Amino acid sequence: MIFGAETHKTITFAIGPFEIINDRRKDSVRTGVLEVLSHDGRRFFVKIHNRLSRWNPEVYAYGHWTKPLGQYAPDLIASFDNDNVFGIIITPIQGRTVNEARITDTGTLGRIYHEAGRLFKKMQGSNAGDYFGIPKSDGSPYEENAETDPVRYVSGSVERLYKSAYDNTIIDSSFAPLIKWSLDNCGIFKDEVPVPTNWDLSPNNWMVDEDGSFNGFIDFENMLWGIPLDSFAVIKERYAFDKPFLKESFLCGYGLEQNEVTEVKQKILGVKSSIASIVYGHDSGNPYFFDCGIKMLRHIADNHKI
């Protein structure tokens, strides 16, 4: 990745003279991640965004939401928006991501998901917002007319996503009864308060050491103020569909009380997440996201009793 003199100057001001030792996302068209070494031997990561809709929430997350995580999240050294470049400088978390480590031992994976759930609940429990959606770096809503009512937030999202999928003939009318049931039951969210949620709550972003001990979370660009359980659907959809014990381990660590209310909430949010993956997969040409969404939506529909 090449950046201009102004950005180089900004990084130097934050950490001193440095050299680039690794380009972690050489082929990425969305974000760049450079591993750098300062002349006094300190290691940092410089993440360059090309979308303000991702830079803003990540800056806000590091400034506010990740504080309760302590050592389990990088520290934000600096953020910058200059020379048409948007970026952050953060400290490293030791280890590798769960997916990079290629862990297959079920006991180890269960402990990792349990710890991820525990820490995620800690972050959510220490923060509460007053609107739903992406924050700017200063905490104000990124989008105009941000929704403040949880029922309208969920129902509006389901309606918008389903309309997009149906109008583009991505899914057919066989799912209409499930969508109608979801919309009819959105009132169950009436008492929800916005908390930090993550549309990419993923083992791709969970760091572990060589023995599988959980070292922390990275990558907060897909965070927003949302419904507490909104982050869980993606775990089942993409990472635990055929390994339900992983989601159960996460929920156990989180301390979720399993009852009829939470089951209904998870089902509605699963419908929303599935259609979002279908639409995103179609629009971006990403067959993995599309297939995961279709598989999950069919699973919910096949096991749903109207």
Based on the fold, state whether residues 161 and 222 are members of the same structural domain. yes
For residue 138, is pLDDT > 60? yes
Q: Is 72 left (phi over 0), alpha (psi -120 to 50) or beta?
A: alpha
Could you tell me the residue range of the domain that residue 56 belongs to?
5-90
Q: Encode pLDDT of 240-264 as tens digits.
A: 999 999 999 999 999 999 899 999 9
Based on the fold, state whether residues 185 and 274 are members of the same structural domain. yes
Token output for 70: 């302590």
* 3 state DSSP class of 86: strand
Q: Give the whole-angstrom CA distance, residue 60 versus residue 260.
A: 34
CATH number at residue 106: 3.90.1200.10
Q: Encode pLDDT of 216-234 as tens digits.
A: 999 999 999 999 999 999 9
Confidence label for 50 from pLDDT (cuts 50, 70 and 90): confident
Dihedral sign, Cα of residue 248, residue 253, residue 258, residue 264? negative
Based on the fold, state whether residues 160 and 297 are members of the same structural domain. yes
On whether the CB atoms of residues 246 and 201 are closer than 8 A, the answer is no
Kindly calculate the radius of gyration of the chain based on its CA atoms and give it in whole angstroms.
Answer: 20
For residue 69, is pLDDT > 80? yes
Q: Encode pLDDT of 147-196 as tens digits.
A: 999 999 999 999 999 999 999 899 988 999 999 999 999 999 999 999 99
End residue of a domain, out of 40, 70, 90: 90
Based on the fold, state whether residues 154 and 43 are members of the same structural domain. no
Place of tokens 């290691």: 43
Task: Look at 1 and 43; give whichever has higher pLDDT.
Answer: 43
Confidence label for 113 from pLDDT (cuts 50, 70 and 90): very high
Q: Give the whole-angstrom CA distance, residue 212 versus residue 54.
A: 29
Based on the fold, state whether residues 274 and 170 are members of the same structural domain. yes
CATH number at residue 9: 3.30.200.20
Q: Give the whole-angstrom CA distance, residue 125 versus residue 122.
A: 5
End residue of a domain, out of 45, 65, 90: 90
On whether the CB atoms of residues 269 and 261 are closer than 8 A, the answer is no
CA-closest candidate to residue 277, choices 113, 161, 144: 161
Based on the fold, state whether residues 42 and 104 are members of the same structural domain. no
Confidence label for 115 from pLDDT (cuts 50, 70 and 90): very high
Based on the fold, state whether residues 153 and 69 are members of the same structural domain. no
End residue of a domain, out of 90, 125, 143: 90
